[in-house]
Structure 1
Amino acid sequence: MVSTPSSGSDALTRQSPPENSEYDHAVREIGNLTLALRDDLKFQSQPFDGQNFILIEHPLSATFYRVGPAEYAFLSLLDGRTTVAEVLSHLANSASSEVLTAHEAAGLCKWLIEAELASTAESSDPLRRSAAARKAKRGGFWRNWNPIAMRWPLVNPDPVFTAITPCLRWLFTRWAFAPWAVIVMLALYHAAADWPRVVASSSAVVVLGNAWWLTACWVVLKCLHELAHGIVCKMYGCSVRGAGIILVLFAPIAYVDVTSSWRCRSKWERMHIAVAGIYLELLVAAAAMLIWSHTGQSVVNHVCLNVAIMASVTTLLFNANPLMRFDGYYVLADWLEIPNLHARGQQWLTQSARRYLLGMNAQHAAWTRGSGLVIRVYALAAFAWRIVVCSGLVMVAATMFHGAGIVLAAFALILWIAMPIGRFVAAMVRANPWERPSWKRLSALGGMLSGCCALLFLVVPWPGACIAPAVVDYSQPTIVRAGCSGFVREIRVTAGELVEQDQILALLENKQLQFELDDLRLNQQKSRLLCRISETRQMLAESQAERERIAELNKRVSEKEGQLAQLTVRAAQRGYVIGRNLETQVGRYLHEG
């Protein structure tokens, strides 16, 4: 799911400005500006956290911003003729209960221009607009062709969703939730009841030979996931602007653009749109688990297990994870009624680092006690999770393409570490005097980091081992072979166990061989009876023939008994058992030798 959060509230965070004459002079100069809002902006009143906010929609860029009543009153007077100072004067003389200060108005004007919601005579200059367009195009190129995560917009699926929504919307209604819950609970019950089998079978899911099945299941599941987002979005009268593919380390992930869901006045409608994909995937996972639990070893059974694991574990770990900016994040932000939860958390981390590590004059935003605690906890958790995810992606990238993926890993390190450091250094060099860091504190911090690195590499013991490929084998191993074909009935030893000579290792079973032996013994008894009858009647020729037949049968019975004895596999000599997963051999058919 792709959604654009309302970034306007970030710019409207009210903070105490720095006390500096140059800054005050810049604020006074902004008062002489005349701003004009774009003609195509759309405004909508929207309740949030017990208050009414104004939602601003930028139709061309499909972005949404949320502002408060005081900010909206200021925006409504920007007609391109009235200066900012005159607007503030008019609001101060009105009956409005809350009026922006000059510093807040200055920050708001700067944000309006940067977000291209308003323009001045200078910002509307064709040359300046052309330069901004080229810069945006370059940024879009790197976003779309970043080898770590490439984003390819493909089609406008809105007509398709308009056609299929009337037929499929019932799946996402409150009446369908009860059957959905029953199916999911039944699947959980069967998975718990047959948990050892689930664990044993799941080890065979992530193997190289299963890659094609996994890829096919992944693509189908992600298409169903995005299909659910689009259908629920259309249920609430919103549009689906686009659809495409995101390649994360060349693994395809479908997406649909449901940014228009911000038009929904109810947060529960927005949460419904965000959670629809997870809802449908869990339904598919539950159905697959039920089929798997009621089928034996087959292709269908194997595919259903793949689907059940991928549609449940991966969906809950990533899509439902609020620490990543996927579906779970938007559900959490709407439920807590904290807009831009991720952006506010990053802002708090940045300001804390600037203040406590660099000694800069950074003011934190004014939050309520409850929301402030949530934002801080979320910021720390999301930062830690991001480190884990980025480290994992770098390690996976480094092992791709037989080692050639190290280029991808190097690119990721440049993108995530080198470039932010470069931007930080450039910002420090260009910073205003009141925004520059404390170089003493920065030097002390750098010295401490250097000392820790030196301590790590020079003092901490390091084995310094060289790694080289090698093959380890046992000296003169004895291979145990089946003396007779049969099914493995029992394994009596484990890997690494010390066994003595002639100790039983395994028992095989061959019912056909046993049937043949029983038949020979019956014929043997029949021949002995005929031989006694012939001797009683003094039929010497017949008696001699039966004796020869009895001798032949005795020979064949001895051979069959010898073969049956070889179904008991014994150790040829004293030693240790070598083998992996010996218990999995039970039930397997072994040929002689």
Structure 2
Amino acid sequence: MSEAVPQQPDLAARLRHVRVGVRADLDTTRHVFRGRPSYILRDPLTFQSHRLDPADYEILVSLDASRSLGEIFADLVQRGKLTRAEEQRYFEFVFLLHRLGFLRLPLSDDKLLYRRYRARQQARRRAKLLSLLFLQIPLWNPDAFLERTIRYARPLYSRTAFGLWAVMTVAAVLVAAGRWHDLQQPLNGLLAARNLPLIWLTLIVLKVLHEFGHAYACKYFGVHVPEMGVYLIAFTPCAYVDATGSWGLTRRSQRIVIGLAGMYVESAIAALALFVWSATSSPLLSALAYNVIFLAGVTTVLFNINPLMRFDGYYVLSDLLEIPNLRARANRVVLDAAKRHLLGVNLPPPPMTRGLRGTLFVFGVCAAVYRTLVILGIAALVASKLFLVGLMIAVGYVARLAYDLGRRLTMYLWHGEETAPVRARAIAVGVLFLVGVPLAAAIIPVPANVYAAALVGAERETVVRAELPGFLQSVIAERGAPVAPGALLVELDDDAAREALAEAQSRLDAARIRRDAYRVDRPALAQQEQQRVSACEQEVARRTDQLAALRVCAPVAGRVVACRPRTDAGRYVEVGSEIATIVAGRWQVRALLTEEQMSAASPQAGDAAEFRPAGGGRAWPGVVTRVRPAALAAMMPGSVSPAAVPSLPPDLAALTHLGGGDIVVDPDSGQTRQPYFELTITLDECATAGMPAGLVAEAAPVRAAALRHGVTGRVKLRGRAEPLALQLYRRFASFNDRLRQD
């Protein structure tokens, strides 16, 4: 027989005779969250804050080095604070206080120490893996500097300053609304290579001022600021400040002010930059002001105010909901819901309302998905510049996530105490999740729709251009009105053309007079003058035709979908300038598909398709009538494969980001990053067939409004049914090809 292994005593037996005391330097403040008291403990050495409920705080204040932990527990039971059944939880909480550094315990447990060592090593390895994306570098302790300079910043946090900020913000919104079209124009070239250094420098300065806004707000309310440094996000330096001391403030409004102080400063700078941009004529100053407007607005909306990331918006939302450790509690709600509904584990309901539980569940799911997307998005950004580094980051993150999830799930399902009563069901769910889901994704075909950017046009489009230069005198055509061939569209006026016609007519009259005078007695000279008369008549006819060309008429029958506005009257029109666009025939949609989309949909003439305008509304059915390359890759000299330098036709510019679309093109050359194919889809003119007459009459104006010429939208094509794993692999391969081309 093997020798029996002595059983390790439980935690209560090991700690019952230990004497401990609480560190005297801990800062404690009392708060009320959602009507319930809580206590915030702040460690002045690590600058970390921890929340305790009243029951745990009662245990904390009872700890005294003059008595053993067993004696303290007996006293708590005698006073009715605890029951005998809570002995294990009591000692577990004491041990947790020790792990947080609040106590010192004379323990010697090799296995425990080794487990903690292994956990620290794994955490360090994970931190090294992600440090390329998020690297925090502390630089200095700004508290003394802030203490000396707070008198200069204190007026910024007064009610008067807030009122001025509100007035300035409203004025900035009105200016932006009035010049919204002009405000969108520089966006086209914002990300041009020549502008990136200025954007980078502007972002750094803005973020430094943003963090000083938090720091001075902390000092305004008397909060200690122990650390300030650099936070590298995808190699882009941003500033950070340690404002965790604000949890020591008992008033929620003060904590919210500190959380919003950075955006308060940044939005004020953006408003001032908007005023400078709208008033200055200097190109350099205008570009700098526009960069400030864009960066302050985009970073505030996408990052700072976004509660799904642990920036300002997260802490403000946590205060508004009165839920400290919002993400941790949301994750707990998500896990408890999965345990309860998927595994059937009998868990007591959390002490919160159903509405709050639903809010935390949605927040937890969204935060987890958003974090994964941000990590993979940053990895893709790094891969676009450093392919192998970005690929290693993405693969490492996904592999670590899958390994940790699989290991924890396996240990919980097969060996967890909570799953012991439902072990069979737990194992079945685990096998289904770990084996069944990947297997189903690999073998079960899933239909996938393909969506592509599209532009509304017509079967026949005629662009009427000015044949001669002149000043726009009047506009007769109206947008949306039908026209017949020869119908007058606009009238131009050119004094030089009228003077040239008058001079030619004068020369013709003089030549005729001389011809008639020579006809009686000098026939030879009369014959010469007759030739001059013929030449002058031709010149008069030519000048008359030129003057008539100033009356621009419709060359074909159709409907006017674009024309010069009447407000252009008096403006000079160059030769070749667009006057109007006339369309005829059925509505057509031109869509642009990438090679990946073409492979997934394999569209052919006769295939069904649907178009939905960008403004919303119903989808309009149609049929694919033509498929052709729209932007093929051009062959570079000396290469054996095409290089990704395609460009789109000018009439499809509305689908690019230069025209407000999604297709990315180079702001300087107008070239796309990959080849595109153009699909022509003829919309079904019988889309209202089968409707009652009244409904058809009601649908007609809606259809006309939704299908205006030049309206953009999305085309939906039916793709091949393929396993989900194959679809993901195809997208990854396409993304990999684009990175290698870049």
Residue 391 (structure 1) aligned with residue 373 (structure 2):
yes
CA distance in 2, matches of 1:455, 1:224: 51
Residue 401 (structure 1) aligned with residue 384 (structure 2):
yes
Residue 193 (structure 1) aligned with residue 162 (structure 2):
no
Q: What is the SS of the residue equivalent to 1:35? A: coil
CA distance in 2, matches of 1:463, 1:58: 54
Task: Name 1:327's counterpart in structure 2.
Answer: 312
Distance 1:59-1:83 versus aligned 2 partners, 3 A rule: same
CA contact (8 A) 1:354 1:437 kept: no
- 1:11-39: CA deviations, max 9, x gaps? xxxxxxxxxxx999655665444333234
- 1:232-259: CA deviations, max 9, x gaps? 0111112221122222322333211112
Distance 1:451-1:192 versus aligned 2 partners, 3 A rule: same
Residue 257 (structure 1) aligned with residue 242 (structure 2):
yes
Distance 1:214-1:29 versus aligned 2 partners, 3 A rule: same
Query: How many angstroms does 1:273 deviate by?
Result: 0.8
Task: Name 1:149's counterpart in structure 2.
Answer: 134
Aligned residues: 527
Specify the code of the residue in structure 2 equivalent to 1:579: P
Task: Name 2:575's counterpart in structure 1.
Answer: 567
CA contact (8 A) 2:231 2:238 kept: yes
Query: How many angstroms does 1:376 deviate by?
Result: 3.7
Among 12, 16, 39, the alignment partner of 1:54 is 39
- 1:47-93: CA deviations, max 9, x gaps? 55556543322121111223344433322332335222311222344
Residue 274 (structure 1) aligned with residue 259 (structure 2):
yes
Specify the code of the residue in structure 1 equivalent to 2:90: A
Task: Name 1:473's counterpart in structure 2.
Answer: none
CA contact (8 A) 1:324 1:382 kept: no
Query: How many angstroms does 1:310 deviate by?
Result: 2.3
Specify the code of the residue in structure 2 equivalent to 1:378: L
Distance 1:457-1:98 versus aligned 2 partners, 3 A rule: same
CA contact (8 A) 2:419 2:426 kept: no
CA distance in 2, matches of 1:176, 1:569: 52
Task: Name 1:285's counterpart in structure 2.
Answer: 270
Distance 1:315-1:80 versus aligned 2 partners, 3 A rule: same
- 1:394-414: CA deviations, max 9, x gaps? 145235235432222112213
Identity %: 25
Q: Structure 1 residues 256-265 or 517-526, which shifts more?
A: 517-526
> Any residues of structure 2 matched to 1:22-61 within 5 Å, and which?
27=12, 30-50=15-35, 52-61=37-46
- 1:485-515: CA deviations, max 9, x gaps? 99999xxxxxxxxxxxxx9xxx9x9x9xx89
Specify the code of the residue in structure 1 equivalent to 2:365: F
Is there any run of 5+ residues in structure 2 with no aligned partner, and where? 1-6, 451-464, 474-485, 512-531, 551-573, 582-587, 591-648, 660-742
Is there any run of 5+ residues in structure 1 with no aligned partner, and where? 1-21, 466-480, 490-502, 532-547, 586-593
Q: What is the SS of the residue equivalent to 2:254? A: helix
Among 409, 412, 424, the alignment partner of 1:440 is 424
Distance 1:248-1:488 versus aligned 2 partners, 3 A rule: farther
CA distance in 2, matches of 1:276, 1:232: 6
Distance 1:428-1:436 versus aligned 2 partners, 3 A rule: same
Residue 79 (structure 1) aligned with residue 64 (structure 2):
yes
Residue 579 (structure 1) aligned with residue 563 (structure 2):
no
Query: How many angstroms does 1:299 deviate by?
Result: 3.7
CA RMSD between the two structures:
5.4
CA contact (8 A) 2:139 2:228 kept: yes
CA contact (8 A) 1:345 1:376 kept: no
Q: What is the SS of the residue equivalent to 1:338? A: coil
Q: What is the SS of the residue equivalent to 1:34? A: coil
Specify the code of the residue in structure 1 equivalent to 2:401: W
Specify the code of the residue in structure 2 equivalent to 1:306: N
Distance 1:248-1:357 versus aligned 2 partners, 3 A rule: farther
CA contact (8 A) 1:228 1:280 kept: yes
Q: Structure 1 residues 232-241 or 84-93, which shifts more?
A: 84-93
Query: How many angstroms does 1:527 deviate by?
Result: 11
Distance 1:462-1:342 versus aligned 2 partners, 3 A rule: closer
In terms of fraction of residues, the more strand-rich structure is 2
Query: How many angstroms does 1:181 deviate by?
Result: 0.8
> Any residues of structure 2 matched to 1:132-147 within 5 Å, and which?
136=120, 139=123, 142-143=126-127, 146-147=131-132
Q: TM-score, normalised by structure 2?
A: 0.57
CA distance in 2, matches of 1:341, 1:207: 40
Task: Name 2:224's counterpart in structure 1.
Answer: 239
Distance 1:154-1:364 versus aligned 2 partners, 3 A rule: farther
- 1:507-535: CA deviations, max 9, x gaps? 9x9x9xx899899999999999999xxxx
Task: Name 2:410's counterpart in structure 1.
Answer: 425
Distance 1:98-1:174 versus aligned 2 partners, 3 A rule: farther
Task: Name 1:230's counterpart in structure 2.
Answer: 215
Residue 354 (structure 1) aligned with residue 326 (structure 2):
no
Residue 305 (structure 1) aligned with residue 290 (structure 2):
yes
Q: TM-score, normalised by structure 1?
A: 0.70
- 1:316-357: CA deviations, max 9, x gaps? 332112232221221222233222222111122223333433
Distance 1:77-1:464 versus aligned 2 partners, 3 A rule: closer
Specify the code of the residue in structure 2 equivalent to 1:312: G
Distance 1:297-1:440 versus aligned 2 partners, 3 A rule: farther
